[in-house]
A and B are shown apart, each in its own frame.
Chain A
Amino acid sequence: MRENREFICVTCPVGCTIEAVIEGQELIELKGNACRRGIAFVREEISNPRRMLTTTVQVDGGALPLLPVHSNEPLPKHLLLAAAAALRRVRVTAPVTVGQVIVHDLLGTGVDMQASRPVPAKQATD
């Protein structure tokens, strides 16, 4: 059964409002997207919505207590809260470099969490 649905694309900061005609998990037609990425977004949104995850993990022996991390790819949207909860229990030891993989294959999704910044080891003088 066809229905009209409105989406706001989150691929880039513009946030195009896209009006789409969908049938179940299939995209029939759409308008309002400023670029092609909007098509891929809506297709995914109706079949397997995914989102990037950014959060922090705890650091041992670092100049800072927390390390910001980001997923290298979007995760299934329905797993975000569980993923964030799992990452709450993760600890990494300093020093940490940008891009370092902190968690590999998070919750079996194939997605890695990487460090968003360097964290040097804590100095005695800090």
Chain B
Amino acid sequence: MADNKRTFDVIIVGAGVVGSLCARELARYQLDILLLDKCSDVGEGTTKANTAIVHAGYDAKPGSLKATLNVAGNALYDEVCAELDVDFDRCGTYVVGLADGDESTLQALLARGLENGVPALEIISGEEMRRREPALTSDARAALYAPSGGLVDPFQLCYAAAENAVANGVELRLNTEVTGLWRNDERIVGVLTPAGPIRGRYVVIAAGLWADTLMHQAGLDSFAIRPRKGEYFVMDKAAADVVRNVLFPCPTSVSKGILVTRTIHGNVMLGPNAVEQDDKCDLSTSQAGLNEVMEGALKLVPGLDSRHVIRTFAGLRAGGNTGDFYIDAPRSTPGLVVLAGIESPGLTAAPSIARYVTALLGESGLCLEPRPAFSPIRHGIPRFSELDDAEREALIAQDPRWGRIICRCEMVSEAEIVAACHAPVPARTYDALKRRVRVGSGRCQGGFDQPYVIDIMARELGVSPLEITKKGRRSQMVVRRTKELRA
């Protein structure tokens, strides 16, 4: 790889949902773009572990970047998801008032939402709220209904954007950590990686939790990422009879609160709490944190049956210390665009952040000449579980592997697994596969499918089953053959 010779127009550091959408947006122009990520897959940071809500935009302080980009991004979701073949449900969201001061909090949110330009907000009575959500606590006295809020699969959006970017000429390199910025005097000339330096005229930092390390190299010393952990429960689809909507409690100063929400895939999710920590890699859940989440959830829906829990997990918000998004092309470092502190509503804002970043680059001197061959359309792998009988028959007739169901909880066929292993941004690990085609996401959590999936992935990737990992690096699923004992 002749890295030292080739100069990219733009290097994007971080292939999360923001970085991937930026890459896609820039691919509209005649530019050589490189998208880098230190992990084994796109979206392995905050993108894959959040509440998956497309926020209406009444939370953020009016005039802030969070507010502007939230509302603008929200409005783009139908178009972006349709182009990228990503599931999106503009089902509306609710903030439920339970306690004495809550009614005035809801009024304040409504007012703020109006100021931010959020459409169609309304306050509804507790009675009406319970009509819409029968399992809701009888303590509910009123609710703020935001029809423009919705649900998305954040990881799906991320890799769909990355695939579309790649299809339009963006180069994606995973397992490539950017260890430093390469500068000539003040001007950015590229990035440093363990495999050597890579030249780039512009560098966009979309590095989530690790943004601050790179920012400090550019002299932006006062900015600090403060990781804030959120823990979650995922409940079986059978629990979806209980919860129909997206339910927020009234927000606190640290977070939007512990939600009870159905997900776009038909599960129910509880969470997150909000606990600050120093470690950027510690994604462990804790008994105390899980207890806090369950307690909070039960306040909204007292009838939740914990026997339906199938999984718990945690994500880290890349909170900044300024209270708002930091998105800027600092004059101290020409050629650099920094995105930092992209916590909630980062997912919602992502499509408009991509446009904002593109505009910043243009203002910094990047020539934005449209690429005639650019196509915004990307098709995902069909989901056997969602097809009708005629579609299923047609696919099986084409390729019998569509008729062999590997994950029976989610009804995922062998053909989908094979396709994901050879997709433009292919699955190379079990978790990467799970995020793409939902193997192991159901009631049995991989109990039945894992032995088959290990076999199929090994076959498709052309490696030994011993090399199949859960999430890259040293996370092998199996350690040796039964009959081979290492000395």
Contact = CB atoms under 8 A, between A and B. Distances in A.
Interface string A58-93: 100000001000000000000000000000110000
A80 to B, nearest CB: 16
A88 B485 CA distance: 9
B4 interface: no
A88 B483 CA distance: 5
Contacts of A56: 482
A54 B483 CA distance: 15
Contacts of A88: 482-483, 485
Interface string B450-487: 00000000000000000000000000000000110100
Nearest to B483: A88
Interface residues of B, number: 3
A2 B49 CA distance: 65
Contacts of A58: 483
Nearest to B485: A88
Interface string B358-402: 000000000000000000000000000000000000000000000
Interface residues of A, number: 5
B251 to A, nearest CB: 56
A88 B480 CA distance: 13
A85 to B, nearest CB: 8
B197 to A, nearest CB: 47
Interface string B115-138: 000000000000000000000000
A54 B485 CA distance: 19
A17 B482 CA distance: 35
Interface string B186-228: 0000000000000000000000000000000000000000000
Nearest to A88: B483
Nearest to A87: B483
B179 to A, nearest CB: 43
Interface in A71-117: 88-89
Nearest to A55: B482
B484 to A, nearest CB: 8
Contacts of B483: 58, 66, 88-89
A23 to B, nearest CB: 41
Contacts of A66: 482-483
A66 B451 CA distance: 15
Interface in A26-72: 56, 58, 66
Contacts of A89: 483
A56 B482 CA distance: 9
B120 to A, nearest CB: 59
A66 B485 CA distance: 16
A70 B483 CA distance: 17
A55 to B, nearest CB: 10
Nearest to A90: B483
B184 to A, nearest CB: 58
B27 to A, nearest CB: 43
A88 to B, nearest CB: 5
Interface in B383-439: none
B385 to A, nearest CB: 27
A58 B482 CA distance: 10
A88 B482 CA distance: 8
A74 to B, nearest CB: 23
A31 to B, nearest CB: 43
A107 B399 CA distance: 50
Nearest to B484: A88
Contacts of B482: 56, 66, 88
A64 to B, nearest CB: 12
A123 to B, nearest CB: 15
A8 B427 CA distance: 51
Contacts of B485: 88
A32 to B, nearest CB: 38
Interface string B134-152: 0000000000000000000
Interface of B: 482-483, 485
Q: Give the 8 A-B residue pairs with the shortest CB-CB distance, closest first.
A: A88-B483, A58-B483, A56-B482, A88-B485, A66-B482, A89-B483, A66-B483, A88-B482
5 contacts: A58-B483, A66-B482, A66-B483, A88-B482, A88-B483
Given A88-B483, A88-B485, 6 more contacts: A56-B482, A58-B483, A66-B482, A66-B483, A88-B482, A89-B483
